Structure 1
Amino acid sequence: MGDILNYLIWPFLALLLIVAVVIGILRKRRRLRELEGLAGRLGLRYTRAGGSGIHEKFGHFPCFVRGQRWRMSNTFRGEVTIAGRRCRVQMGDYRYREGDAESRGPTREFSYLVMQQPCGLTPDLGIRETGLLDVLAEVVGSEDIDFESAAFSRRFHVSCASRSFAYAVITPPMMEHMLARAPRYMSSGRCWWLCYEGEGLWNAARFERHFRWTLGFFERWPAYLLEEYGPPPARLAGFLAGEV
């Protein structure tokens, strides 16, 4: 009886493995087709090919310089118009290997979006969902900036060297926009904003959602703030990872 069970179980397990592999391949192909269609809807250029320049261009964001063997793929690039100003955008998949040259760690991957803000250089601003460590930090005092909305302050941890700038950006309409469907993590640096949600790849619908949400984020910036900081620096016009 045991021999019969072994005879049946191993082929069955092998069949399950084959089915899982085939399903994974089909899902990946469907995702690629959907990403190509999304590029057409958004008016962006799309390439499946990988590249390694993103950690050089956006290395001021910590998530792009972790580990080693950095690679990007399924990359969208293009321009959007915000408040009459042309701003660059790039989004796609990013992969890296944990560890260093002497230790091989697991491979990690996530999707991201970086968009140029519609004004010149501003104080760096970080916005992320509140975690357990943030709750504990409140006990001993932290750099979290509080806002009038208790719901917003509970959900998001906000840090900025300039509180006045943070309050200028995060107005009551902006709080409503963020409470509706904000990414888990947003951070600014060198006139760019990064949006990502940790490990995991986005499907086409999520890419589109974050793209349109980020446009809405910038469209809610007060006009006086854009005037105060002036137009985006011209030298950033072609500053996108992988471009020449």
Structure 2
Amino acid sequence: MQSSTWLILLVAVVAGVGIAYFKFYTAKKRRELFAGVAAQQGWSYVPANYALAGQWSGTPFQTGDNWRVTNVLSGPYNGHQMVAFDYSYQTHTTNGRGQRRTTTHRFGVVVLQLPGALPHLEVTHEGIFGGAVANAFGFRDLQFESEQFNRAFRVKADDERFGHAVVTPRMMELLLARGEIGWRFEGNSLVGWDRGNHDPAEVMNRLWLLQQVLENVPPYVWRDYAGVDPRPQQPQQPYPQQQPGGPTYP
């Protein structure tokens, strides 16, 4: 074998080792970062808990394969149980020459536990499809009096009456100002997510946003749809803990 070929192989090996070490070092520092945040907040931290991947059914869960749940934070947050983690899954495509390509999709997920189960409601950004374009293709979503909100967000609800009861003018104002992630009610969970791994500061910001969403749900909605009244006396009291039958929070 020619010396130039050996040199190429040597460079490739060194580059491969360097990339592997960089990934290892980055993952290690990330684990240390989240473990430190858990200690500061009085939460628990585990490097991985893949069982969480099967507890929710909407975006970004239940698609692709090789589901991974890592850097899991869990504990109390202003009267609620919370869990936050890195989530990833893989999809595969094959080109015309039979070559297989694997793509890893990464998300940062935060979840707040609800005092009772609510109907399914999902709020996401319109993305590359504006409301008018998407509706023309049959992707209908709820429409509200604010055209600015309609252009910015897509709202899907199994019960339209419930959707309009939750997305009040105050809720729209909140989301237009701070609605940077997608979120939905799924059973007794409020799930928030966004693409890419999140950092501790983003975790705290997203938990704050989810709490504001909960606080802007009118009390009659909780009574009519969940059969609970989380704020019977003092509006600032924390919600009760999880009702039986919902997801298990670590």
Same fold, TM exceeding 0.5? yes
Number of equivalent positions: 227
Q: Structure 1: where are the runs of 5+ without partners?
A: 1-10
Superposed counterparts of 1:63-102, under 5 Å: 63-82=60-79, 87-99=80-92
Measured in 2, the distance between the counterparts of 1:195 and 1:14 equals: 41
Measured in 2, the distance between the counterparts of 1:104 and 1:53 equals: 26
Superposed counterparts of 1:68-217, under 5 Å: 68-82=65-79, 87-99=80-92, 105-118=102-115, 120-135=116-131, 136-139=133-136, 142-198=139-195, 200-217=196-213
Measured in 1, the distance between the counterparts of 2:49 and 2:245 equals: 20
Q: Which amino acid aligns with 1:235?
A: P
Q: Which amino acid aligns with 1:34?
A: L
Aligned to 1:51: 49
Q: Which amino acid aligns with 1:222?
A: P
Note closer, same or farther for the CA distance 1:134–1:188 as it changes in structure 2 (3 Å cut): farther
Measured in 2, the distance between the counterparts of 1:55 and 1:13 equals: 36
Q: What TM-score do the two structures reach when normalised by structure 1?
A: 0.76
Q: What TM-score do the two structures reach when normalised by structure 2?
A: 0.74
Aligned to 2:235: none
Report SS of the residue matched to 1:127: strand
Q: Contact conserved, 2:181 with 2:194, CA < 8 A, in 1? A: yes
Note closer, same or farther for the CA distance 1:168–1:41 as it changes in structure 2 (3 Å cut): farther
How far is 1:34 from its partner? 3.0
2:236 pairs with 1:239: no
How far is 1:137 from its partner? 2.0
How far is 1:174 from its partner? 1.4
Q: Contact conserved, 2:49 with 2:72, CA < 8 A, in 1? A: no
Q: Structure 2: where are the runs of 5+ without partners?
A: 1-9, 94-99, 229-240
Report SS of the residue matched to 2:217: coil
Note closer, same or farther for the CA distance 1:88–1:39 as it changes in structure 2 (3 Å cut): same
Higher mean displacement: 221-230 or 231-240: 231-240
Q: Contact conserved, 1:126 with 1:159, CA < 8 A, in 2? A: yes
Deviations 1:191-231 (A, max 9, x none): 21221112x11111111111111111111211222233224
Measured in 2, the distance between the counterparts of 1:142 and 1:108 equals: 24
Measured in 2, the distance between the counterparts of 1:125 and 1:238 equals: 17
Report SS of the residue matched to 2:129: helix
Note closer, same or farther for the CA distance 1:51–1:149 as it changes in structure 2 (3 Å cut): same
Report SS of the residue matched to 1:117: strand
Q: Which amino acid aligns with 2:207?
A: F
Over the aligned positions, Cα root-mean-square deviation in angstroms equals 3.4
How far is 1:141 from its partner? 5.3
Higher mean displacement: 209-218 or 125-134: 125-134
How far is 1:38 from its partner? 2.4
Measured in 1, the distance between the counterparts of 2:247 and 2:158 equals: 28
How far is 1:44 from its partner? 2.0
Measured in 2, the distance between the counterparts of 1:67 and 1:12 equals: 34
How far is 1:156 from its partner? 0.3
Note closer, same or farther for the CA distance 1:179–1:42 as it changes in structure 2 (3 Å cut): farther
Report SS of the residue matched to 1:132: coil
